[in-house]
């Protein structure tokens, strides 16, 4: 069952127009677009930070796993 029919979209559009008015809709769309842009850039930064942490943890564990030359001589 497709719950969202075309006439549902039309009713939703009419309700939005009544609530916000035609003059405010472009400003609303612009602010939503800017918010999405900021959100995407923050998610990208978090992913890059996570990659750096994983790389640092991976190199630290590889260094710890290799015996030092002093302990190998004993």
- In this prediction the pTM is 0.50
pLDDT band at residue 22 under the 50/70/90 scheme: confident
Is there a domain that residue 9 lies in?
Answer: no
Is there a domain that residue 16 lies in?
Answer: no
- Domain residues for the domain of 43 are 24-62
Is there a domain that residue 1 lies in?
Answer: no
Q: What sign results for the dihedral spanned by CA atoms 45, 48, 50, 52?
A: negative
Is there a domain that residue 33 lies in?
Answer: yes
Tokens for 1, please give them.
Answer: 């069952």
The pLDDT tens digits for 28-60 are: 889 999 999 999 999 999 999 888 887 777 775
Residue 24: which of 16, 12, 15 has the closest Cα?
Answer: 16
Is there a domain that residue 18 lies in?
Answer: no
């Amino acid at each position: 069952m497709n719950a969202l029919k075309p006439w549902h979209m039309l009713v939703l559009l009419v309700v939005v127009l009544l609530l916000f008015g035609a003059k405010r809709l472009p400003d609303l769309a612009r602010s939503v677009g800017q918010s999405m842009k900021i959100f995407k850039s923050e998610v990208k930064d978090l992913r890059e930070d996570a990659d750096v942490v994983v790389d640092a943890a991976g190199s630290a564990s590889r260094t710890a796993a290799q015996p030092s030359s002093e302990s190998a001589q004993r």
